[in-house]
Amino acid sequence: MATTTSNYDASSITALEGLEHVRKRPGMYIGSTGVGGLHHLVYEVVDNSVDEAMAGHASRITVTLLADGGCEVIDDGRGIPVDPMKDKKLKGMPAVEAVLSQLNTGGKFDGDGYKVSGGLHGVGVSVVNALSCRLECEVDRDGLRHFIEFRGGGKVKTRLKEIGKAPRGRTGTTIRFWPDPEVFETTDFRPQALLERFQMMAFLNKGLELRFSDRRPDGHAEPVSYHYNDGIRDFVKHINESKEPLFKKPGYFTQQEDDQEVEVAFQWNTGFNADGIHSFANGIATIEGGMHEEGFKKALTKVVKDYAANSTTLLKKDDKLEGEDIREGLTAIVSVRLREPQFEGQTKGKLGNVSVRSLLERATYDKLGDWLQENPTEARKVVAKAIQASRARAAARAARDKTRRKSALEGAGMPDKLKDCSSRNRDECELFIVEGDSAGGSATQARDPRIQAILPIRGKILNVERARLDHMLKNTEIQTLISAIGAGLGEDFDASKVRYDKIIIMCDADVDGSHIRTLLLTFFFRQMKALFEPDHEHVYIAQPPLYSTVVGKEKIYLKDDAAKDQFLSEHPTHKKEFQRLKGLGEMDWEELGETTMSSDKRTLLRVNVEQAAIADEVLSILMGENVEQRKQFIQANAKDVRFLDI
């Protein structure tokens, strides 16, 4: 007995040393101490319960943000074991205490089920303990309710004890934790972000019910329950909700072998997006793809091509299908589970296990092949759509070659609409894309013709998200833009040829203006992505001032309400009226010259690639019918979409 006790005390001390390290270097374990890291704590605890569900022992997880700032996660699994550890080092320590206080003890020591282990997740609940000022755990097991409690980053406050009977027949684990305000910059959870992940987990684990409620006094989130009996099929339907599916019921297949299994759901829509494949490994999004995606894409191309080759009524002699034609409009979820996932790449978002590639190749070739045979109506639609895409691609290539030849033969003739600048030093040149001819006229008068070029854009340019390249190239507004920028487009785009240092979008502050701005950003994002690369960052949004007023003889412009308040606090005796400017369309050229077009008075917003990607996504959502999705998206990205004024 004496040795047991001393062993136990010794391992408690080692445990604390481990947790000390976590507190010293939280970033190493949870990425950051911002809101992302804070949420990581929740995911870590929930992941453990999801593992228990994946192993077939739990079916419901309830997450509650408590009134006092804590977070509670309840599951109905087997309950973390409470018996003393047998292992030499931890001899005598209750297993639950080891799980909660020993780094790397993880959840599973019975080798049962897949564990979520990668660079990002699976650091263990002990990390949550280390970064919490308080953590409680209740385990219902063997008819009893057990309780253990920690304080100050993992120090045992109450040793494991029985606190009564478990409710009849119930087993499960409850973990409550209070993130340490000394560690985190904020301890304010954001339900929107949490919910997004809970929903994803519910999609990826069919039958699992994930409930969420927010009991914080100022919490606004409504209680939510995610529960999908059709798992990733429901996921695909959900993604395609705002789109127009080619057929009603998503296809689905699954295959299992030895240590790994795969599940795939798919459905094409009428859209033109060719990267609608979303892949996951052990419930973790693999943003950078990897072996599972590779195998799936390869077999998808082959199986659809083989099928098309046998349907002579659709395929003409010159048609040549490629992978991207077949993927156009496809929404697919590829979810694999394996024992030892290898997460690689910059953000650990790429699955490296080679064996998964051949599993996916075989499964997809066989089972998607069966699906095509068994669903001839759907299969014809898929093939017809791919053929259409391939013809469009051929036409676009021809159109591009023509543009290229033309510029080589005729010299780079600039479009009439462009009022170009005279300087040939591109580092000082600016292109203003202005909405409408009248604003274009004012801007032309206000500009410095040496370094400022004006390109008026009329009406709404084509929605590039929806339009194929060949249609897009026929649009005169787009043609004008491409020639003015002068660096080609798509895969031929060459950022070193861009003719201006700054490309400044100048639109009205109304709905149409923000729509055109979003369309332009989407076009640049899709066809001239290098414009947003960190060392280029050519794209800007002009923010015309909202107010003007007069001080003495000088006209002062104020960009927004905050600037107006600031001005008033600095000029407490100011009595003159404020004029509310009606946006670019209503400004005369002198006003423009003194504000948006003056290099020292204007406010420009530089657009980075993330913001452009958001514009792109906003657009596809705005085009869709799903108002709820649009609302949610805008809420979740409030900070980053503000400049789009939607």
As annotated, the active-site residues are: 435, 508, 510, 512
Signed CA dihedral, 32, 33, 35, 40: sign only: positive
Q: How far, rounded to the nearest angstrom, does the alpha carbon of residue 314 sit from its chain's CA centroid?
A: 37
Output DSSP code: residue 643.
G
Give the interface segment with ligand 0RA, choosing from 75-83, 260-268, 415-423, 557-565 (CB under 6 A). 75-83
* Interface with ligand 0RA, residue 47, by CB under 6 A: no
Provide, rounded to whole angstroms, the least separation between the CB of residue 45 and ligand 0RA: 7
Q: Which two tokens stand for residue 24?
A: 């010293």
Q: How far, rounded to the nearest angstrom, does the alpha carbon of residue 473 sit from its chain's CA centroid?
A: 29
Question: Which of 17, 110, 222, 554 is in the footprint of ligand 0RA by CB under 6 A?
Answer: 110
Question: Which of 101, 173, 242, 267 is in the footprint of ligand 0RA by CB under 6 A?
Answer: 173
Cα–Cα nearest to 506, from 426, 603, 424: 603
Cα(290)–Cα(122) distance, integer angstroms = 20
Give the interface segment with ligand 0RA, choosing from 46-54, 82-90, 186-194, 609-617 (CB under 6 A). 46-54
Which residue number, 95 or 584, has a Cβ lying nearer to ligand 0RA? 95
Residues in the chain: 646
Give the interface segment with ligand 0RA, choosing from 45-53, 126-134, 253-261, 374-382 (CB under 6 A). 45-53
Signed CA dihedral, 228, 232, 233, 236: sign only: positive
Cα–Cα nearest to 446, from 584, 603, 605: 584
Question: Which of 12, 33, 48, 335 is in the footprint of ligand 0RA by CB under 6 A?
Answer: 48
The residue whose Cβ lies closest to ligand 0RA is 48
Provide, rounded to whole angstroms, the least separation between the CB of residue 169 and ligand 0RA: 15
Cα(277)–Cα(81) distance, integer angstroms = 39
Backbone angles phi, psi at 583, to 5 degrees: 100, 175
Question: Which of 22, 39, 52, 489 is in the footprint of ligand 0RA by CB under 6 A?
Answer: 52
Give the interface segment with ligand 0RA, choosing from 27-35, 77-85, 184-192, 222-230 (CB under 6 A). 77-85
For residue 609, CA distances in Å to 172, 412, 429, 513, 534 come to 45, 29, 22, 21, 8
Question: Which of 53, 74, 80, 208 is in the footprint of ligand 0RA by CB under 6 A?
Answer: 80
Provide, rounded to whole angstroms, the least separation between the CB of residue 131 and ligand 0RA: 17
Cα(565)–Cα(295) distance, integer angstroms = 59
Cα(211)–Cα(194) distance, integer angstroms = 11
Which residue number, 108 or 559, has a Cβ lying nearer to ligand 0RA? 108
Provide, rounded to whole angstroms, the least separation between the CB of residue 584 and ligand 0RA: 57
Cα(410)–Cα(395) distance, integer angstroms = 22
Interface positions, 597-636, toward ligand 0RA (CB under 6 A): none
Cα(334)–Cα(640) distance, integer angstroms = 29
Question: Which of 69, 81, 207, 352 is in the footprint of ligand 0RA by CB under 6 A?
Answer: 81
Which residue number, 210 or 641, has a Cβ lying nearer to ligand 0RA? 210
How many CB atoms within 10 Å of residue 266? Answer: 24
Provide, rounded to whole angstroms, the least separation between the CB of residue 116 and ligand 0RA: 11
Question: Which of 70, 77, 118, 271 is in the footprint of ligand 0RA by CB under 6 A?
Answer: 77
Provide, rounded to whole angstroms, the least separation between the CB of residue 215 and ligand 0RA: 21
* Interface with ligand 0RA, residue 124, by CB under 6 A: no
Q: How far, rounded to the nearest angstrom, does the alpha carbon of residue 8 sit from its chain's CA centroid?
A: 45
Provide, rounded to whole angstroms, the least separation between the CB of residue 107 and ligand 0RA: 4
Question: Which of 44, 72, 75, 591 is in the footprint of ligand 0RA by CB under 6 A?
Answer: 75
Q: Which residues of 504-525 are buried (b: 16+ CB within 10 A; e: fewer)?
A: bbbbbbeeebbbbbbbbbbbbb
Provide, rounded to whole angstroms, the least separation between the CB of residue 99 and ligand 0RA: 6
* Interface with ligand 0RA, residue 222, by CB under 6 A: no
Question: Which of 49, 282, 353, 444 is in the footprint of ligand 0RA by CB under 6 A?
Answer: 49
* Interface with ligand 0RA, residue 105, by CB under 6 A: no
* Interface with ligand 0RA, residue 94, by CB under 6 A: no
* Interface with ligand 0RA, residue 108, by CB under 6 A: yes
Cα(101)–Cα(546) distance, integer angstroms = 56
Radius of gyration, CA atoms only, the chain: 30
Which residue number, 173 or 269, has a Cβ lying nearer to ligand 0RA? 173
**Residue 66, class by beta-carbon neighbours within 10 Å (0-12 exposed, 13-18 middle, 19+ buried)?**
middle
How many CB atoms within 10 Å of residue 99? Answer: 24
Backbone angles phi, psi at 10, to 5 degrees: -60, -45
Provide, rounded to whole angstroms, the least separation between the CB of residue 381 and ligand 0RA: 45
For residue 591, CA distances in Å to 32, 547, 594 come to 46, 11, 5
Cα(266)–Cα(363) distance, integer angstroms = 14
* Interface with ligand 0RA, residue 129, by CB under 6 A: no
Which residue number, 64 or 548, has a Cβ lying nearer to ligand 0RA? 64
Provide, rounded to whole angstroms, the least separation between the CB of residue 76 and ligand 0RA: 9
Give the interface segment with ligand 0RA, choosing from 44-52, 185-193, 318-326, 462-470 (CB under 6 A). 44-52
Which residue number, 141 or 367, has a Cβ lying nearer to ligand 0RA? 141
Cα(386)–Cα(326) distance, integer angstroms = 5
Q: Which two tokens stand for residue 131?
A: 């970064």
Cα(2)–Cα(8) distance, integer angstroms = 10
Residues that bind ligand 0RA in the complex, under the rule CB under 6 A: 48-49, 52, 75, 77-78, 80-81, 107-108, 110, 173
